[in-house]
Every structure is written in structure tokens, then in C-alpha cells.
Amino acid sequence: MHPVKLTLASIAFAYSSISLAADITVAAHVANVPFEFEDQTGKAVGYEVDIINAVAKNMNKTVEYTSMPFHMLFPAVQSGRADIAIGTVTVTPKRLESVSFGQPWFDSEQCLTVATRSGINDLEGLNGKVLAVQTGTVGEIWGTSNQAHYNYKDIRRYDANVDALLDVASNRVSGLVHDCPMDAYYIKDKPQYKIAARIPTNEQLAPMFKKDNPMLAEFDAQVTKLKESGELAQIYIKWFGEPADADSSVVKQRPIPTLAASAQ
């Protein structure tokens, strides 16, 4: 084995590379307007991004975002390649078996979005049709478990809701079941779409961590401070144009989700 020769330049390069590493690494599903997406410069922006940035600022930490499909967020935090994952991730008992969550910061439900000209006005209108879902989401779980009930003939899975909605508009699929807030935001200036049905799944969205990540407690304490100061409510107004409900997870402190609590 030949000895490795270290020059001053190589030592300096190695040191600078280490010093530039971010304190907090975030895996983000950035095709997810208005929660996380890239602006014209390629910078990550959005509701959940603003919360992460505000927390990091208060912790005096730097942040780095890495874009990936929704279903890749889970192995990213489980393997430790990312400290946190965001992408409107719903807290579920099944997920709590393998990952941890911070306190919820958004409440949600599922919606069926269809083409305005489709003639579909409710979930029963999916009979004999093709349903779109996003891989790994609560929408996919709902779609799979309700296929026999609503008798749609097939389920088509997508990595991003925008791709699915484009196929809804072109009649490649009949409708998309997905989180209401982002789909409602996406279609608000697109009259070719409408929301045909709301599905009361009573979801809570939260940041995801590796199981028992020691960063979680400090991070969560800062989220509580953002709620108490009203800063998180202002972030909500910035992205959704109206105040959050006073009893919502945007405003109210919530406990860190646990399997014991979810089983009650």
C-alpha cells in the first residue's frame, strides 16, 4: 500500500468541504405546491420549507434540501441520509412503527379531483373508471381499500400529483384521490378541474424523522415556539391567503405522535 501524500491544498479542500456541510439535511418531495417546490432559481420554497427554515434559524443551524419522489422519503430518513423528511407526510400508526414524527403542523383530508367536463360529481361516479393515486400516500391506501366498494376498474399510480392531474385533464384517468390542500391550490386558477368529493380522513401532516432521532425534541420545541408566537400562523396566511382555523394544528400545540396514543 502506497502512503497517501497530503498537500496543504488537499487538506484545505477537505476542511472546506466539511465546513460547508449543512447542520440539518432535509429530504423533500418538492413537486408539492404550495408545501414544497422549487422557485425559478431552483431554490426550495413553500409552507413546510418556511417552517423548517424558521426552526433552523432559531436553532442557529444551516439546512440543505434534497429533492426526491414521495415514496423515497421514508428510506431517506430510515437510513440516516436525511435528518428530516417533508412532503405533506401523514402521521399513521403503521408509519410510527418504523419512523418518528414531530408534532403535526397541518390538518388535511383527501379529495377526488376530476375534469370539469367528466360528468363525475361524487365518488360513485368512479364506477367502471380509472383512478389515479400518488405512490406511498394516504390517497393510495384509500384507493386500494375502497376499489371494491366504488367499483373503479383500475388504479394508476404516480410519483407526483401534478403528473396525475395532467392525465386527469387529458382523460387518461378519470380522477385523482389526493390531499385536498395541494390539489385545491393547484386547480384554483384552472377551470378545467373541479373537486368532486371530499373524503374526511382527518389527517395530520408532520415532519418525519428517523426512529427516536435525538434531534426531534429540540426541533419540536422550536415548532411549539413558532405556534405560540404566531409566526407559523403567518406562514400559513402567506401561502394560503387566509387565517388558519383557531383549533387547527397550525395554531394549537400538539403532542409528538406515538404508537400508544394512536392506538387509543
Is there a single domain that holds both residue 215 and residue 99?
yes
Q: What count of residues does the chain have?
A: 264
Residue 260: predicted pLDDT: 73
76, 254, 204, 195: CA torsion to nearest 10: -130
Q: Answer whether residue 245 is part of any domain.
A: yes
| Structural domain boundaries, residue 225 | 22-105+206-262
Q: What is the CATH number of the domain that holds 182?
A: 3.40.190.10
Cα separation, 250 vs 180, in Å, equals 16
Residue 31: predicted pLDDT: 84
- Is residue 122 classed as helix, strand or coil in its secondary structure? coil
Tens of each residue's pLDDT in the chain, 264 residues = 443 333 434 333 333 333 348 999 999 998 888 999 999 999 999 999 999 999 999 999 999 999 999 999 999 999 999 999 999 999 999 999 999 999 999 999 999 999 999 999 999 999 999 999 999 999 999 999 999 999 999 999 999 899 999 999 999 999 999 999 889 888 989 999 999 999 998 999 999 999 999 999 999 999 999 999 999 999 999 999 889 999 999 999 999 999 876 554
Is there a single domain that holds both residue 176 and residue 133?
yes
Provide the grid cell at 181.
Answer: 390542500
**Domain tally, the chain:** 2
Contact 131, 164 (CB under 8 A): no
Q: Answer whether residue 247 is part of any domain.
A: yes
How many other CB atoms are found less than 10 A from the CB of residue 191? Answer: 8
Separation in Å, CA 24 to CA 68, 128, 240: 16, 47, 26
Provide the grid cell at 186.
Answer: 393547484
In degrees and rounded to multiples of 5, residue 78 shows phi and psi of -65, -35
Look-up of cell digits 378519470: 174
Cα separation, 5 vs 248, in Å, equals 59
Is there a single domain that holds both residue 35 and residue 86?
yes
Residue 21: predicted pLDDT: 80
pTM assigned to the model: 0.79
